[in-house]
Amino acid sequence: MTGVLSKFIVSTLPPALITTQGASLPAAALPTSITHQVASTFRPMHSESESLLAQNLGKREIVMALFRAGAIGFITFYIVRWILRFADPTYQQKQKAKTKAKEIMERLGVKNLTLNEHEVMIASHLVDPNHLKISWADIAGLDEQIEQIKKTVIYPVLAHQRIVRVSRLIQPPKGILLYGPPGCGKTLIAKAMAKESKCWFINLDVSVLTDKWYGESQKLTAAVFTLAEKLQPCIIFIDEIDSLLRLRATQDHEVTAMMKAQFMSLWDGLITDPNKTVIVMGATNRPKDMDSAILRRMAAKFHIPIPDLNQRKHILDLTLKQEVVDSDFNLDRLAQITDGFSGSDLKEVARSAAVACLADLQLSRDCLWERQGSSKSNKSIRSVDSGAGDEPSTTSSSGASGKASSSWLSGLWPGRRSSELSSLNNCSSSSLGHDNMAIRPITMRDFEGAVAKAKEAKAHCQAQQFRQHRIELD
Ligand SMILES: Nc1ncnc2c1ncn2[C@@H]1O[C@H](COP(=O)(O)OP(=O)(O)OP(=O)(O)O)[C@@H](O)[C@H]1O
Ligand SMILES: [Mg+2]
């Protein structure tokens, strides 16, 4: 066995490394039994016939050695690759990204574009505008900002694409920054841009740039720009950009520092083509944390503020467009009592008010089941839902029975006005008659309740924050 093994090892070694004395430097590292075998295999040869035989054997052995080396190399390559795949926790994620990228590019009609492995990873973050539901019409109260964005970014891009003789100065800015308090519509604007700008849109997830292998992060960063350049005109959007391009500090990790530096040089067009339309767009609510060199590159800055009275009215109007509100609903009053609320807070108020109706409906149904249960104890819930013949007197919204129901409902909600109770009663009756539930209109009272709840939560959070600061300061 050892003989066969040693012959095999020796046969794969280059002849220059083996001497007729038995062992040179590399062979000396082998066990004695093997070196002995080597010596016996390569004995000194004297006669011509012997040397001819040796020559023939040598050729054959060389071919065999090459074949064996090739086979070993091939098998080793696949084993190592399999082990690396097994050891790489991101392998599945990378494979998924590749499939997604192929799918998106096919859907978007990208053909004849050769992409390297890293560009494919980034391409999985391309946004398909047809899949987005947000358009400019879905943003309320930010007309001025939207108009400015269109003038500064979209029109110059279109001019660059369509007008043949165009001034060299008519160009979109290389960077755009949307900044302002949380929940005021920055990401919303980015979504509308992706849908309506007619540019390629890469929604860059910062985590995709981080890779555990040294040098991979830089390759991925470079791929962002090379892909954008190949596709151009292209917008690279980075939400919460401060997390990637925050103030550079000496204690930054080496890879992070290199990534930031590379990002800036690629952005400048030092390595990429400066004539291609590639725009970096960022959104942040912490502009102060951003590096001044990055802020310099983002020439167009748009402040997305907390909405004022008029803007709140627009946002509420848009949010409640599809909703059924009661006749007592007063938009002006709701806008007034929501001073200091962001767009996202206003949406939450509307949602909370709508859910309050649902809670009322559920309560009324439970009560009706109870009432019915007391008269017909063996009825199942299903029969209550659909049995029109089993309806209690409260299910009729008209005449004497309607009044009767309103009176028992007023017992449940003593503070409610009669209009609210009758609408609640109506909904109870309709829900009892059919499987599909109808919900009563949202009243001003629901909105006021939701606003009060939101204000209380805000005050609580602010108090917590204040206490936290106090602890830190103390
Ligand atoms: N101007 C607006 N018009 C309509 N809806 C709005 C508006 N502003 C905010 N909203 C609502 O608030 C939600 C959150 O908005 P968005 O995600 O754009 O906030 P943001 O400014 O990106 O906040 P953050 O800084 O926390 O990321 C939106 O999905 C939308 O429903
Ligand atoms: Mg956002």
Beta-bridge partner residues of 175 = 280
**Cβ contact 243:282 at 8 Å:** no
**Cβ contact 372:435 at 8 Å:** no
The set of long-range contacts for 220-224, using a CB threshold of 8 Å and a minimum separation of 24, is: 220/118, 220/121, 220/122, 221/259, 221/262, 221/263, 221/266, 222/118, 222/262, 222/266, 222/271, 223/116, 223/118, 223/119, 223/121, 223/122, 224/122, 224/266
Task: Give the C-alpha distances (Å, rounded to integers) separating 98 from 109, 212, 219, 321, 371.
Answer: 16, 18, 16, 41, 60
Comparing CA positions, the residue from 98, 108, 162 lying closest to residue 131 is 108
Burial of 109 (0-12, 13-18, 19+ CB in 10 A): exposed
| C-alpha 122 – ligand 1 centre gap (Å) | 26
Helix orientation angle between 343-375 and 309-319, rounded to the nearest 10 degrees: 40
Cα 272 from Cα 361, distance rounded (Å): 61
Return the higher-pLDDT residue of 12 and 399: 12
- Is residue 183 within 6 Å of ligand 1 at its C-beta? yes
- Is residue 316 within 6 Å of ligand 1 at its C-beta? no
Comparing CA positions, the residue from 450, 193, 142, 185 lying closest to residue 323 is 450
**CB-CB neighbours of 465 under 10 Å:** 10
Cα 465 from Cα 457, distance rounded (Å): 12
**pLDDT tens per residue, range 421-470:** 555 555 444 444 445 556 788 889 999 999 999 888 877 776 666 555 55
Atom of ligand 1 lying closest to residue 318 CA: 4
Mutate to test the pocket of ligand 1, among 134, 178, 184 (most ligand atoms within 8 A of CB): 184
- Is residue 185 within 6 Å of ligand 1 at its C-beta? yes
Cα 90 from Cα 98, distance rounded (Å): 12
**pLDDT tens per residue, range 132-188:** 889 999 999 999 999 999 999 888 888 776 665 666 777 788 899 999 999 999 999
| C-alpha 376 – ligand 1 centre gap (Å) | 51
Cα 217 from Cα 223, distance rounded (Å): 10
**pLDDT tens per residue, range 64-115:** 889 999 999 999 999 988 887 777 777 777 788 888 888 888 888 877 778 8
Q: Judge whether residue 121 has pLDDT over 60.
A: yes
| C-alpha 283 – ligand 2 centre gap (Å) | 7
- Measured by CA distance, the residue closest to atom 13 of ligand 1 is 344
Closest-approaching ligand to the CA atom of 345: 1
| C-alpha 357 – ligand 2 centre gap (Å) | 30
**Cβ contact 365:409 at 8 Å:** no
